[in-house]
Homo-oligomer: A and B are copies of this chain.
Amino acid sequence: MIHNMTENQITLLVIKSLKENKKKEFERILDELQPYDIAQVYDALPEKHKKRFLLFMNTDRLADLLEELNKEKQLEVLNKLEIERTGKVLDLMDNDDLALLLDDMSPERITSLLSGMKKSESKIIQDMMNYPPETAGRLMTNRFVWIRDYYTVREAVDKLKSFAEYAETINYLYVIDQERKLVGVVSYRDLLIAEPLDIINEIMYERVIAATVTTDQEEVANMVQKYDFLAIPVVNEENVLMGIATVDDLMDVVVQEANEDIEKLSASGKSIDFDTKAFVAAYRRLPWLILLLFIGIISGSIISGYEETLAQVVALAFFMPMISGMTGNTGTQSLAVVVRGLVSNDIDKKIVTNLILREFGVGLIIGITCGILISLIAYFWQGNATLGLVVGFSLFLTLIIGTLSGAIIPLILYRLNIDPAIASGPLITTLNDIFSLVTYFGIATMFLSRLT
């Protein structure tokens, strides 16, 4: 009935059922909605209806709702529930979502939140919280179906059926031995094609692609993307199967990591979105800007060192923005190529050498092209051949330096295990500013007698 309604109409219908205290009607509506839609309705609800909305929902649905909300809203919901109900809902939540919720919370707060939960469930969560943030151990779920290697196909299918409602994905069954070590994988398709009495051991794939609990989440996402999997098993150092990471969570990882790269490349500061308040956004952006202000002062003091040169040939100032701008731009271009390349490539010496040689080649080509172009422009504009040569030769050199620094700096940071994207665009730009000013004024001073 509601399948053609807009979100607003549905919200109104929900409010009506809440006002009239019609729980049946309320449930009938929610039955037709996806958890994401229910979260949207909850968001749009006036504050006064929220309590009854939560009261009307069963714990299953509450757990689904929580998984769709952001952290702030999750806590808001939990605060509205009684302690006993909180425990039940947390028991039902996927453990990866719960781990994310608890992240950054004080130990006391965690203990009090988990107190209502079943011992077995809260133990799992506490174990997960011991893995480093942003690793496979943090985002795996324990809701998967495993089978033993001696099962028959029929036994495997029976187990799958009885766990279907509980499991996150039913496309793969992971096979473990008596020590819970991961020894194989069969797909649901394999089971359908095999004979009921075949032994799993004989039909399973033995070359299982797996992540370990400490694998970085970005790498896990990369594996799943390359292999087109819907889930990937996660094992510990002894190859014991601990959980699975599912593609829906990994898709979120990909989006999050891409946004982080962009934030860092633009030095826009952590997590500013459309809802961030002006004061908070300014506070997050200011540290970078102030750092860059001081670096700008360094540029200024370099120029002041060449005050006499500049006073004699004021025209040199005309080309300053162009030279430093171009150097910054080519550096940013190299930086973006390298930062994104590091995400999807395995790095070894050969690749790094090739990359640096390639960028040197690029710098050479664009340096020669732009250098000649600006020499001619400067000569015809200012009618001074020496000025043309000084500007052109400086641009040639700074473009090579800029291109190389945009490639080498992130590679060094990567080698030092520092996120290369931190060498943000503005930072590279500002460093290149300094390189380019020194080069430009250095060359100009050398030719000063012929410039005046």
A448 in contact (CB, < 8 A): no
Interface residues in A316-351 (C-beta closer than 8 Å to B): 317-326, 328-330, 332-337, 339-341, 344-345, 351
> Complex formed: what's the CA distance from A285 to B76 in Å?
49
B interface footprint on A94-136 (CB within 8 Å = 1, 0 otherwise): 0000000000000000000000000000000000000000000
Residue from the list B35, B250, B286, B360 in contact with A366, Cβ < 8 A: B286
Q: Bin the interface of chain A by size.
A: 35 or more
A418 in contact (CB, < 8 A): no
B interface footprint on A211-233 (CB within 8 Å = 1, 0 otherwise): 00000000001001111111000
> Complex formed: what's the CA distance from A317 to B188 in Å?
71
- Majority secondary structure of chain A interface residues (helix, strand, loop or mixed): helix
A303 in contact (CB, < 8 A): yes
A355 in contact (CB, < 8 A): yes
Residues on the B chain within 8 Å of A360, using CB: 278
A197 in contact (CB, < 8 A): no
In the bound complex, do residue B433 and residue A321 qualify as a contact, i.e. CB atoms below 8 Å apart?
yes
Residues on the B chain within 8 Å of A226, using CB: 36
Residues on the B chain within 8 Å of A281, using CB: 337, 358, 362
| Best-surrounded residue of A224, A323, A329, A377 (most CB of chain B within 10 A) | A329
Number of copies: 2
Residue from the list B251, B307, B326, B437 in contact with A296, Cβ < 8 A: B326
Tell me the A residues contacting B by CB distance below 8 Å: 2-3, 32-37, 161, 164-165, 169-171, 188-189, 192-193, 205-209, 221, 224-230, 247-248, 250-252, 254-255, 258-259, 261-263, 265-269, 272-274, 276-279, 281-282, 285-286, 288-290, 292-293, 295-297, 299-301, 303-304, 307, 310-311, 314-315, 317-326, 328-330, 332-337, 339-341, 344-345, 351, 354-355, 357-362, 364-366, 369-370, 373-374, 377, 381, 425-426, 429-430, 433, 437
